[in-house]
Amino acid sequence: MKTEDIKAFVAVVQKQSISHAAEVLHITQPAITRRIQNLESALGIDLLDRNTKPPKPTPMGRRVFDQCQAVLRELKALKTLAASNTAPAGDLRLGITQVIGDYVLIDALKDLSESFPDVQAKLSTHWSARLITQVASGDLDAATVLMPAGFAFPEHVSVDNLLALEMVPVGRRCDFAERPYTLRDLHQHGWILNPEGCGFRNKLQRALAAQGLPLQVNLDTFGTELQLGLVASGVGIGLTPHSLLSASRHRDSLMALDVTDFKLEVNLWLVHLEELGNLLQPVRQFGASIAAGFSAGLPATVQP
């Protein structure tokens, strides 16, 4: 069943004339007749009552005509979706990490809605590694993730490096002096971290293990601002992007700790499908809005 055959049948019914349909489609009348015969053969039914002049659709032909119109509308929508020069519209499947969602997501979604009112954002939250897998498999259109600079992304996705970030240990200000520390110095305080599966937690655990130290977790929970609030209450030491520490409402009670034997630098990445058509522009704006939200609180030493 060919699209050209469907278009020919629809044109004949709409124009109520084979000759007029041929003029509209810029083909000959015999070609129109052959295309309708091809469609009838594919469906196994007669679509036109040829005992009438001009030919009119049979009762089943009328139902097929309605369905053919719907098919052509969907085909037009598909072409529009794939065309990068058309106005963005439709569902946009976005993935974010919990850290990103805590601070900058609301403003990023507001910017997206104002710039592209016909785009509906559908959000998923997971670990960065899982989000990358979902983009690679086509389950998400794009995701903003935190990964090291040398991370090997799947070959068939597009990646934009948005921003460099420094993850810093954070303690309650009244518990620490302004001086360098080691992981061994901090070990007795215990940590407040994301639950197991977090890449940052894994990095910290490996650094401690290299010194023969266990990872002492006082509390694991999602939510950067919640974690920083618990740090400010003296529950333990946290681990957070430096810019989010500056943006926290608890910042006056907190201190970024200078730990000489543990440095964790990551990048904020925008990962997206290679073919996004007219959704590429809103995806890039979403990534830029997320990066701008992080940049607002960054110290000069880690500005991109």
| pLDDT digit string, tens, across residues 83-104 | 556 677 788 999 998 777 666 7
pLDDT of residue 85: 63
On whether both 155 and 215 belong to a single domain, the answer is: no
On whether both 258 and 194 belong to a single domain, the answer is: yes
Residue 242 has pLDDT above 90, yes or no: no
pLDDT of residue 102: 67
On whether both 177 and 37 belong to a single domain, the answer is: no
pLDDT of residue 174: 94
pLDDT of residue 223: 83
On whether both 135 and 171 belong to a single domain, the answer is: no
The predicted model gives 268-286 an average pLDDT of 88
Residue 297 has pLDDT above 70, yes or no: no
On whether both 96 and 65 belong to a single domain, the answer is: no
pLDDT digits (tens, 9 = 90+) for 51-94: 888 888 999 999 999 899 888 877 876 766 665 566 777 889 99
CA distances from 42 to 18, 36, 64, 65, 166 (A): 20, 10, 12, 15, 63
pLDDT of residue 303: 33
Query: In CATH, what number is assigned to the domain containing residue 289?
Result: 3.40.190.10
On whether both 40 and 97 belong to a single domain, the answer is: no
Q: State which residues form the domain around 291.
A: 91-160+266-302
**For the chain, what percent of residues have pLDDT higher than 90?**
47
On whether both 215 and 272 belong to a single domain, the answer is: no
**Could you say which of 46, 64, 82 is where a domain stops?**
82
Threshold 0.75, pTM exceeds: no
In terms of pLDDT, which residue wins out, 33 or 247? Answer: 33
Residue 300 has pLDDT above 50, yes or no: no
State the total domains in the chain: 3
pLDDT of residue 50: 84
Predicted confidence band of residue 298 (pLDDT cuts 50, 70, 90): very low
On whether both 190 and 248 belong to a single domain, the answer is: yes
On whether both 110 and 140 belong to a single domain, the answer is: yes
pLDDT digits (tens, 9 = 90+) for 191-241: 999 888 888 888 899 999 999 999 999 999 888 889 999 999 999 999 988
Residue 46 has pLDDT above 70, yes or no: yes
The predicted model gives 250-256 an average pLDDT of 93
On whether both 145 and 288 belong to a single domain, the answer is: yes
On whether both 131 and 279 belong to a single domain, the answer is: yes
In angstroms, how far is CA 257 from the centroid of its own chain? 33
Query: In CATH, what number is assigned to the domain containing residue 66?
Result: 1.10.10.10
pLDDT digits (tens, 9 = 90+) for 152-197: 998 888 999 998 888 899 999 999 999 999 999 998 899 999 888 8
pLDDT of residue 272: 93
On whether both 169 and 219 belong to a single domain, the answer is: yes
